[in-house]
Structure 1
Amino acid sequence: MGNVKIWDAINDEHILKSEFKILSGPIKDICWDHESKRILVVGDGKDKFGHVFTFDSGNSVGTIDAHGLAITGCSLRPKRPFRAITCSHDKTMVFFHGVPYKFNKTLRDHTSFVNDVKYSNSGDYFVSVGSDKKIFLFDGLSGDLISEIGDQKTGHSGSVFGVSWSPDDQYILTSSADKTCKIWKVETKELIKTISVGDPSDTMNMQMGNLWTSDFIVSISLSGNINLLSMDSDVPFQIITVLQYTDAIYDSPTLVDMPNQSSQVNSITVVSDDVLAIGTMNDKVSLFSTKSNTTNKEVKFNGAPKSVLSAVDGKQLIVQLSNNSVVTVSAIENDTTEPKMLIKDDATSIALHPKQLELAVGYSNNSVVVYALQKSSTGALLLGNEKYTISYNRREVTSLEYSHNGKYLASGDGAGKIYVVEAESGNLVTNKWVFHTAAVLSMSWFSDNKHLVSGSLDSNVYVWDIDNPNSHIAGLRAHPTGVSKVFALGTDAFISCGSDAIIKKWKVVN
């Protein structure tokens, strides 16, 4: 919390360039200057509510002070002489001269929380909006009030949360708790259009922020919906709903009760229609019949099973243990053959090819090795020749997953990066799935073999598209203490779970 990360936006890998601890509390807004040298960050904290610094060294280039409560918004004048404006829940705005930035004056025109402030693209003006339903226009150089925009008849009937300028600075867009967006002509201060978003009785349709670019006019609902707007329409012409979840997974879930089992379950895999292989913290894998509700076989290992996989024919299990070894054991109930070692150490993740005897192993040295598997005369699995090695990951490999058709292999690592290769050759398909900020703990392909869902220690879930690797859908803070498992259902749904003891079912809406 309170950290700013700066990423390379040019190279394909989008590497992290630098990271700075700016505030002790949450960051509310961030703004680059027009020279791309300085960054203004505002929010909440114990010792300060804002800071302005150079992006490369982190050196301070001014003092952002004079507010009594958290700063909610900020904007930098996009030309010289430099100016900065901040707004706060203390009902004030503070105007700064720079560089270095120093306090110039406090603006007290609003009578309630000031929620957002934005400089025009020319830098000649800035505009502010607040919970008093007011919109004010100011001179961008002096900080003097020019006029109020709108009145009791044309203005918003609820708090105004967001404001943006049109690219030509002729109009401004405001978003409000009254479930509308309004477009205003700056020169005449008149209302041009009111756009209603959804059912006005639904609080989830409150409009929390907006953006006006050369290509799109966008407003964001409290529900997370992205609303595409037009000056020619009184309603959004498109509403993008990205992810939805419900707490109920199934109407009538089946309770599986394992008698005498009190140890934590680490991994479950389906062996056959009514048999599960369950790995537990007491160093055992149990073959459990859901039909008879009995444990038909237990195998003891020299470590707790972290991952249990069933081979193509369902007769052998591949088990990754907590000591980073990989072993194979028979899944046949009356077969008492001892487990056989496949990988002695350093294995951090495993995946089995869904169509053929092939094992992918992720290692602590950041590599993935794909091996052919062979069967002995007794039916036991043996490690065959190495097929290929891939070394794209920058940290230890924490998750591996083959697509259902066996065409792709995805590898996630401790840095939050996911790489996809062709499973047959190991050739790189994409390295652009880089938005997790902590270890990728689980991945699952959808049945179309084109989309993948990932869950991470960073608490987020993402849905990725192999045909459009630059795009993604985010489910932020899905499980606040980390996402431990995700599982795709068909083409448009998935399940996630975390150490918060909650299971969520998500609907992916394009």
Structure 2
Amino acid sequence: MELSTVRAALPTTSRGRATLLGIHAQSNMVLYGSAKTVLVLPLIGDGSADCYNGHAHNVTAAQCSPNGEWVASGDSSGKVIVWSRNGSRDKPKLECQALGGGVDDLCWSFDGQRIVASGDGRGVLVKAFMWDSGNTVGEFDGLSKRVNTVAMRPKRPFRVITGSEDSTVNVYNGPPFKFAASHKDIHSKFVNCVRYRPDGEVAVSCSSDGTVRVLDGDTAVALDVVLKDHGGSVYAVAFSPDGSAFCTCSADGTVRGFDISTPATPASTFTLTPGGDGPAAMVAGCAWTDAHVVALTLDGRMHCWPASGSGAAAAPSGAPAKVIGGHQKAIVSCAADTANGQVYSSSFDGSLVQWDSDGLKYRGTIAPHGGQSVVALCCANGLLLTAGVDDSIAAWSLPLSMSPDTSPSWRVQFDKNVSGAPKTISASSSGLIAVATARGAALLSGGAIACPCVAPPADCGSDGANAASISPDGKSCWMGFENGKVACMSVADGGASAELVGEALTRHRGAVTAVSYNPSGTRVATADANREIVVWDAVSRAEAITKMVYHTARVRSLSWSLDGNILASGALDNSLIVWPMTGEPVSRRKTAKQAHAGGISGVAFVGGDKLASFGADCCARLWTVPNGIFDA
């Protein structure tokens, strides 16, 4: 089993604050944090991301060394870790407790020997240290409030400038760095970003007061230039790689470019608008690489325009050439539409994302339940079925248009006092739909509730069903319960009648978390919170395959290959396992350890030998499961 593609989580954003993207302009890549993961995302090629999961707290800043080999990343605890992009991740180069609070920004010296971190904390708000030893190389006095941003002059003599929430821009000379000057009157609100031009001759600062100021790189004196082109807070600044231009981004939803060939008289050259409605369209961050200008909107999406590294000479314009999308919050469910070559995933923030099965290319995002969390997905019979915490089931025609105006073919509202809140969905080839609910199971047919509630057996508890799966022919349905028992019911009259068959099965020693029929309807797989997976004969209800206890935490998701020869499982232990279902011993299983930091929430075979996985790290991964994978 080989990992072929990683689709990155989107950057964490916060309304009213900048999200400062790290870049390596020559490599055309951006760096940022999402929860406890550092993402290194190439903007050209297939866009498969690199992930680093060494932080114990949420990642808040990341920057690449000038040579592109090392990454410095900081988190909300104030720790900075220096790690190799190409070497071993087991032991980082440096772990340094830089600040007492969260790290907001980082910068490297042009020779790659020093790092400066700024942010919040008790006493120390900025720290400069050697990249490999962590030894401090200066003191940063004159700071009274959170330091949002920091930049180091990319030439000698070294100089560090900082931007703070007390609206000041401070200057420090070194190393060792010591206070040199303070500009208290060039901005009237938070300073959100400061950046040096690549040649070190000019620096630019931007503020929540809507202004952009230019500083002389040699003297650190603020020039008389005051740019007020934006209609809202200005969050970030990014220079073109050749330094002839820079761009800024703002809460007004625009990215503006300026020619700074003559620093005393910057000239506006372009205005870019990512588009969108409401707060989600605010631009919280920007970057400029050799090939792209990037705008990060508040919803986490990155909008990319082709651009030359030569700045204003090749100014971008029009609509973005591509949009990098995905999830900002933990993914909770997934489903594959093999007929149309697409796969869907949903997250806690109510987002539904469409991906192409071929390479997991992003196709769009909608909110099918009005922004409320989508807890379950299922693709069958030309429909995408979604279950939300608004206690409704909606059906969407496939292939699904990802327009915000898309409406469902039908929507059924559950009465929690009768059916209970929906938890999982499955569908038969005949169109009958089984929904596991907080009161048992409900059956739907033709866009209406056929059987509002099939109560669980008395010995299965009163918590309803955790999971349910209906057979391909729609004649039987298996349910799993919190007390570890599994029950089967027969279905008749198009779902209008259902009755329990025999006694509940008692193999599991933990709450049943997933139930799944194989494509032929001859077997049923069940998984539990005690790490065990059992495969049953669907007719005799006898155990067919056992001793599948190789996960080390709760199993969250099961998926059968299209031919039924392989079963995939994902669990909270971060691992993905594929199991042989054609007679080989289960000891021949193949495991991808640490497939998703924080656990796997969904797995789905998407066609051929491709398997998609989704997790709490907000990432999507595509795996190749070749024929003969279980051969000894």
Partner of residue 484, structure 2? 283
Partner of residue 315, structure 1? 522
Residue 283 to residue 207, structure 1, CA distance change in 2 (3 Å)? closer
Match of 1:45, SS state, is: coil
Partner of residue 301, structure 1? 507
Partner of residue 181, structure 1? 255
Letter in 2 for 1:455: G
CA deviation vs aligned residue, 1:414-468 (integer Å, no higher than 9, x gap): x4xx3xxxxxxxxxxxxxxxxx543334333445875734112xxx32234569x
Partner of residue 440, structure 1? 600
Letter in 2 for 1:259: A
Q: Distance in 1 between matches of 2:115 and 2:131?
A: 6
Query: Does 2:286 correspond to 1:81?
Result: no
Q: Distance in 2 between matches of 1:192 and 1:4?
A: 37
Partner of residue 482, structure 1? none
Residue 84 to residue 330, structure 1, CA distance change in 2 (3 Å)? same
How far has the Cα of 1:98 moved from its partner?
Answer: 2.8
Residue 439 to residue 82, structure 1, CA distance change in 2 (3 Å)? farther
Question: In the alignment, which of 595, 608, 612 is matched to residue 452 of structure 1?
Answer: 612
Query: Does 2:425 correspond to 1:342?
Result: no
Aligned residues of 2:559 and 2:605 also touching (Cα < 8 A): no
How far has the Cα of 1:265 moved from its partner?
Answer: 4.8
Aligned residues of 2:516 and 2:526 also touching (Cα < 8 A): yes
Partner of residue 259, structure 1? 455
Match of 2:526, SS state, is: strand
How far has the Cα of 1:293 moved from its partner?
Answer: 4.9
Q: Distance in 2 between matches of 1:365 and 1:169?
A: 43
Residue 160 to residue 351, structure 1, CA distance change in 2 (3 Å)? closer
How far has the Cα of 1:118 moved from its partner?
Answer: 0.1
Question: In the alignment, which of 125, 136, 156 is matched to residue 213 of structure 2?
Answer: 136
Match of 1:314, SS state, is: coil
Match of 2:280, SS state, is: helix
Aligned residues of 1:173 and 1:181 also touching (Cα < 8 A): yes
Match of 1:104, SS state, is: strand
Aligned residues of 1:115 and 1:129 also touching (Cα < 8 A): yes
Aligned residues of 1:180 and 1:194 also touching (Cα < 8 A): no
Q: Report the number of matched residues.
A: 408
Q: Distance in 2 between matches of 1:367 and 1:224?
A: 27
**Matches for 1:98-497 after TM superposition, within 5 Å:** 98-108=174-184, 109-150=186-227, 155-186=229-260, 187=262, 189-197=265-273, 202-229=278-305, 231-232=314-315, 234-240=317-323, 242-243=325-326, 244-246=365-367, 248=369, 249=386, 250=394, 251-252=411-412, 256=442, 257-260=453-456, 262-263=462-463, 265-274=465-474, 275-288=476-489, 291=495, 292-297=497-502, 298-304=504-510, 305-332=512-539, 335=540, 337=542, 339=543, 342-343=546-547, 345-348=549-552, 352-358=560-566, 370-371=579-580, 373-374=582-583, 384-385=584-585, 388=588, 390=590, 411=592, 413=593, 415=594, 418=595, 436-446=596-606, 452-456=612-616, 460-464=617-621
Aligned residues of 1:312 and 1:357 also touching (Cα < 8 A): no
Q: Distance in 1 between matches of 2:470 and 2:615?
A: 21
How far has the Cα of 1:277 moved from its partner?
Answer: 2.4
- Ranked by relative contact order (alpha carbons within 8 Å, sequence separation 6 or more), the top structure is 2
CA deviation vs aligned residue, 1:82-123 (integer Å, no higher than 9, x gap): 221111221112222232333333221211111110011112
Structure 2: segments with no counterpart, 5+ residues: 1-75, 308-313, 327-364, 370-385, 387-393, 395-410, 420-441, 443-452, 625-632
Aligned residues of 1:369 and 1:386 also touching (Cα < 8 A): no
Aligned residues of 2:274 and 2:295 also touching (Cα < 8 A): no
How far has the Cα of 1:37 moved from its partner?
Answer: 3.1
Letter in 2 for 1:39: I
Residue 368 to residue 224, structure 1, CA distance change in 2 (3 Å)? closer
Aligned residues of 1:31 and 1:75 also touching (Cα < 8 A): yes
Aligned residues of 1:94 and 1:105 also touching (Cα < 8 A): yes
Higher deviation after alignment, 304-313 or 139-148: 304-313
Q: Distance in 2 between matches of 1:200 and 1:444?
A: 31
Higher deviation after alignment, 211-220 or 54-63: 54-63
Letter in 2 for 1:135: V
Partner of residue 31, structure 2? none
Q: Distance in 1 between matches of 2:317 and 2:570?
A: 53
Partner of residue 30, structure 2? none
Aligned residues of 1:319 and 1:327 also touching (Cα < 8 A): yes
CA deviation vs aligned residue, 1:214-252 (integer Å, no higher than 9, x gap): 221222223334333454455344251514341514232
Query: Does 2:173 correspond to 1:97?
Result: yes
Aligned residues of 2:258 and 2:270 also touching (Cα < 8 A): no
Partner of residue 427, structure 1? none
Residue 48 to residue 452, structure 1, CA distance change in 2 (3 Å)? farther
Could you tell me the TM-score, scaled by structure 1's length? Answer: 0.68
Partner of residue 114, structure 2? 38
Q: Distance in 1 between matches of 2:536 and 2:276?
A: 60
Aligned residues of 1:183 and 1:193 also touching (Cα < 8 A): yes
Q: Distance in 2 between matches of 1:267 and 1:323?
A: 15
Aligned residues of 1:149 and 1:189 also touching (Cα < 8 A): no
Structure 1: segments with no counterpart, 5+ residues: 375-383, 391-396, 398-410, 419-435, 468-510
Aligned residues of 1:95 and 1:143 also touching (Cα < 8 A): yes
Q: Distance in 2 between matches of 1:239 and 1:185?
A: 25
Match of 2:121, SS state, is: coil
How far has the Cα of 1:178 moved from its partner?
Answer: 2.7
Match of 1:461, SS state, is: coil
Identity %: 23
Letter in 1 for 2:211: K
Letter in 1 for 2:480: G
Q: Distance in 2 between matches of 1:72 and 1:200?
A: 27
Higher deviation after alignment, 117-126 or 131-140: 131-140
Could you tell me the TM-score, scaled by structure 2's length? Answer: 0.56
Q: Distance in 2 between matches of 1:234 and 1:369?
A: 47
Residue 448 to residue 30, structure 1, CA distance change in 2 (3 Å)? farther
Higher deviation after alignment, 16-25 or 214-223: 16-25
